[in-house]
Amino acid sequence: YYADLVILNPSKKHTVSKENVLYKCGWSPFEGTTFSSTPTHTFINGELVYENGNFAESFRGKPLEFDRW
């Protein structure tokens, strides 16, 4: 089975800003939004790919594909 999972620290708030957005495009529709928790770990397909601000160098995701009619 494949597992995608995010572990959060419920004791630490997180505000999204241009300085901490990790998207390649450099922006997020959530800029200025404060969340009541902070992501600390991300597992994709059962592999740890993000831990406390660091990405696993060995992991490579797949590009998103869109069906454009």
Q: What's the CATH superfamily of 5-55?
A: Urease, subunit C, domain 1 (2.30.40.10)
Locate the domains of the chain by residue range. Answer: 5-55
Q: Using CA atoms, how far apart are residues 30 and 62, in angstroms rounded to an integer?
A: 23
C-alpha torsion sign, points 51, 55, 59, 62: positive
pTM equals 0.71
Contact 8, 40 (CB under 8 A): yes
pLDDT at position 7, please?
97
pLDDT at 24 over 90: no
Average pLDDT in the chain? 88
The distance of Cα 38 from the centroid of its chain, to the nearest Å, equals 10
What are φ and ψ of residue 47, in 5° steps? -105, 135
β-partners of residue 5 are 43
